Amino acid sequence: MKRVLAFLFILVSLSFFCISVSAMEVGFEIQEVSPEEQQKLFSQVFVEQSNQKYISGEELDLYDVNQDGEVLVSIGLGNRINLFDEHGNFIKSYNIQTKSKGTVFAFFDKDDGNLITYFFRDNFLVKFDPEGEMIEAAKASSSDVSSVYHSMKQSLERKVNGVRYEAVETAFWWTPNKLMRIDQDRNEILLYERTIGQFFSQYWRELAARLWLPVLAAFGIALAYRLKQLKRISR
């Protein structure tokens, strides 16, 4: 009898340990890290929060809806995130990135609905509380995460708690450029839209950012050459 009780105690202890170790429900295999390593991973993440909705000409990356009806919309590389409540009202936006500045996979925890971001170039993920504070980190192989990521990108229409969400593409676009929320009374809310005007505005900003240094260098070289010529003439 004592052996049976001891065995049961061990099983319960192990079960409790397994449950307490993993507090993320993500749909793919993760590797737990020590508290010390977790802090190191936290230190690699840069987080900005804003009460202004992020609007740009960048591509709609993907969207996710948790069990409470909250919606996240990730934009561009996935590091720009707009959050909405269950009624489609904007809550806040995030800019979450690491030094590597690679693709970010943003989604909700399947259990508690908190925001999680996975950094493909760094092979780790971070979980946030509702206030935007990092509360947990873990590692995961990008090969394990990729299938889940691409599956969510291709999931253009979903229905959660009677509310339908549709990522649609309009004329002139080759990928979805609008995300609509449609409730049971057919009331529509536009959660995100990428317009032609925004696209070209973003394009010219990025082009200017990339070209200003080479143009300035070319101008400097031309000026130096011209000054050299003037010196020769003055002699």
| Residue 26 backbone dihedrals phi, psi, to 5 degrees | -120, -15
Q: How far apart are CA 224 and CA 228, in angstroms?
A: 6
* SS3 assignment for 174-210: CCCCEEEEECCCCCEEEEEECCHHHHHHHHHHHHHHH
Instruction: Give yes or no for residue 193 having a pLDDT over 60.
Output: yes
pLDDT (0 to 100) of residue 172: 75
Q: What is the DSSP letter of 232?
A: H
Parse the chain into domains and list their residue ranges.
Answer: 24-194, 196-235
What is the structure's pLDDT at 191?
96
Identify the pLDDT of residue 196: 62
The set of residues, in sequence order, having a beta carbon less than 8 Å from that of 225 and lying 6+ positions away, is none
For the whole model, what pTM was predicted? 0.74
Bin 27: left if φ > 0, else alpha if -120 < ψ < 50, else beta.
Answer: left
The per-residue pLDDT for range 59-76, each reduced to its tens digit, is 899 999 999 999 999 999
Given a contact cutoff of 8 angstroms between Cβ atoms, the answer to whether 193 and 180 are in contact is: no
Q: How does residue 199 score in pLDDT terms, banded at 50, 70 and 90?
A: low
C-alpha distances in Å from residue 191, one per residue of 39, 48, 149, 199: 34, 21, 21, 17
Reading the block at residue 30, the tokens are 């993760």
